[in-house]
Amino acid sequence: MIKMILSFVTIQSTVALNQTMFSHPLLGRRLVSVRGTTAPPQAGTFRWSSGVRAMSVLLTRQAILSEARRHGQANGEVAAAIDSDGDSLAASLDYALSKQPMWLQDMFGVTPHGKAIGEGERLQE
């Protein structure tokens, strides 16, 4: 089963992603990433950048949509989206993904072919 857990904290009345936990059958273990520049052994790190913020919004919206769908309230929506209107969350995420940042590999792992799972490569379980 594929599973992503996002843990948020409040810092001076602002919400920030603090930790992620990701599991995927191809990985064989759960990946943990923490906000900051240092992490415990076997954990990755990420900065609270605009790309990470955009990914957090997209994953949170998908979780809300999935929960609504479970209760028959999704109004036909299949997948969450973030709009692309120039200087937006979508542009930030697109830019981050195009640079293949280390935080992406830390959070989502790498396929046996060496591609970051978070890049959206179609995965065979």
Which residue shows structure tokens 């949509």?
65
**Domain limits of the chain?**
3-119
Q: pTM for the complete prediction?
A: 0.81
Q: List pLDDT tens digits, range 27-84.
A: 888 999 999 999 888 899 999 999 999 999 999 999 998 888 888 876 777 788 887 6
Q: What is the DSSP string of 72-120?
A: T-STT--S------SSSHHHHHHHHHHT--HHHHHHH-B-TTS-BGGGT
